[in-house]
Amino acid sequence: MARWQQEFSQAIMPSAPSHHVSGHDLWHWRQQAQIQAAQAALPKAELDWLLQAAGLDRLSLRLETFKQVDLRLNWSLAELEQRWQQRIQARVPVQYLAGEAPWRQFSLAVSPAVLIPRPETELLIDLAKTAPVTLRSGHWVDLGTGSGAIALGLADAFAEATIHAVDSSAAALQVAERNAQRLQLSVEFYCGSWFAPLAQLRGQLSAMLSNPPYIPHDMLAQLQPEVAEHEPHLALDGGLDGLDCIRQLVWQAPEFLVPGGLWLIELMTGQAPAVVQILEQQGDYRDLQVHRDLAGIERFVLAYRR
Ligand code: GLN
């Protein structure tokens, strides 16, 4: 197994930069790679993202001062080339190749076991902050935590709350736990399906958040290859109409939330009216709200348990 594949499966970054690389050789490599980026219609910035993960700093990349010195990098030039070819040829997302992704103020470890956290999902935390302060000291849960992004965002935003995070993938939970350790944030992790591992918290949750799989099954293959071929379908596939998991969250949550507890999810463009209808049919929710993301797309539905 190549080293980048090992790091893939474990979401680890090398501990200390240990590879000597001549700055001049790297400069030449980067010139070639920039041409390949243009040919593949990839932003040049992705190349520098990978180079930063290799250990170069942004300023020396910008000024090209690295050209004059011998460098110590996390990867050899051959390993860097291997990763870059994965980006160009196999369309592996640069976040997986770099081993991390920025999200809110964090840098999160990611591997192909987890969905790459998206910028629009950052807003879930800001929406959670609009909940009444009385909910803040209770138990909060992130269902389908993946990299742990939402749970960690909550742990950071609500110091008095107890944060729980569930995922049905043990491999994803390893990544999430690693992120919690890296950020020194406290989250209780559980392996299982939605509320199943949380039986002891029945009737006690102040809030439930989720970015569940919501892509309609037949749309998956049409997504860009970075998503369709490399991100976990477990985190994307929402069944025939994309709403399978959301329905479960609507129907299961009332049993777990305190009266007045917050129910908040992310969804896809066009799904909000259907989700509002499901919440209304279920009948245990009040104060339904639909919120848009920064692109103006209806992306979040928020409700409170009666
Ligand atoms: N936002 C992701 C995408 O656009 C989908 C995430 C999800 O299904 N929860 O691919």
Phi then psi for 61, rounded to 5 degrees?
-70, -45
pLDDT of residue 211: 98
Claim to verify: residue 62 and residue 200 sit in the same structural domain: no
Give CA–CA dist 60/133, Å, rounded.
45
Tens digits of residue pLDDT in 211-236: 999 999 999 999 999 999 999 999 99
Distances (CA, A) of 46 to 30, 53, 83: 12, 11, 12
Both structure tokens of 300: 């979040």
CATH of the domain at 166: 3.40.50.150
Q: Are residues 47 and 129 in the same domain?
A: no
Residue ending a domain, choose from 98, 114, 140: 98
Q: Which atom of ligand 1 is nearest to the CA of 242?
A: 8
Domain boundary among 66, 98, 130: 98
For ligand 1, say whether the CB of 256 is within 6 Å of any of its atoms: no
Ligand 1 binding pocket mutation candidate from 219, 268, 275, 301 (most atoms within 8 A of CB): 268
Query: Which pLDDT does position 6 carry in this prediction?
Result: 66
Same-domain pairing of 123 and 224: yes
One domain, residues 60 and 108: no
Which of residues 71, 98, 125 is at a domain's end? 98
Residue whose Cα lies nearest atom 5 of ligand 1: it is: 236
The Å distance, Cα 181 to ligand 1 centre, comes to 25
Report which of 106, 146, 142, 152 is spatially closest to residue 232, judged by C-alpha positions: 146
pLDDT score recorded for residue 9: 59
Same domain? 66 vs 142: no
Instruction: Say yes or no: 212 and 88 in one domain.
Output: no
User: Dihedral sign, CA of 54, 49, 101, 156?
Assistant: positive
Q: What's phi and psi for 150, nearest 5 deg?
A: -65, -45
Atom of ligand 1 nearest to the CA of 231: 10
Which atom of ligand 1 lies at the shortest distance from residue 236's CA? 8
Q: Residues 181-198: pLDDT tens digits?
A: 999 999 999 999 999 999
pLDDT score of 16: 75
Examine the domain organization and report whether 238 and 119 are in the same domain: yes
> Do 76 and 164 belong to one domain?
no
Is there a single domain that holds both residue 204 and residue 178? Answer: yes
Q: Do residue 144 and residue 126 come from a single domain?
A: yes
Give ∠ CA 52-116-97 in degrees, rounded to 5: 40
Structure confidence at residue 18 (pLDDT) = 87
- Look at residue 17 in the predicted model and tell me its pLDDT: 81
Residues 257 and 167 in one domain: yes
Residues of the chain with pLDDT under 70: 1-15
Nearest-5° Cα angle at 42, 21 to 242: 120
Pocket test for ligand 1, best of 220, 236, 248, 298 (most atoms within 8 A of CB): 236
Number of domains in the chain: 2
> How long, in residues, is the chain?
306
Q: For ligand 1, is residue 220 a contact (CB within 6 Å)? A: no
Whole domain around residue 166: which residue ranges? 104-305
CA of residue 213 to ligand 1 center, whole Å = 7
Predicted TM-score (pTM) of this structure: 0.94
CA of 195 to the centre of ligand 1 (A): 21
232 half-sphere exposure, CB direction, 13 A CA radius: 25
Give the position, in ligand 1's atom list, of the atom nearest the Cα of 211: 9
Residues 148 and 216 in one domain: yes
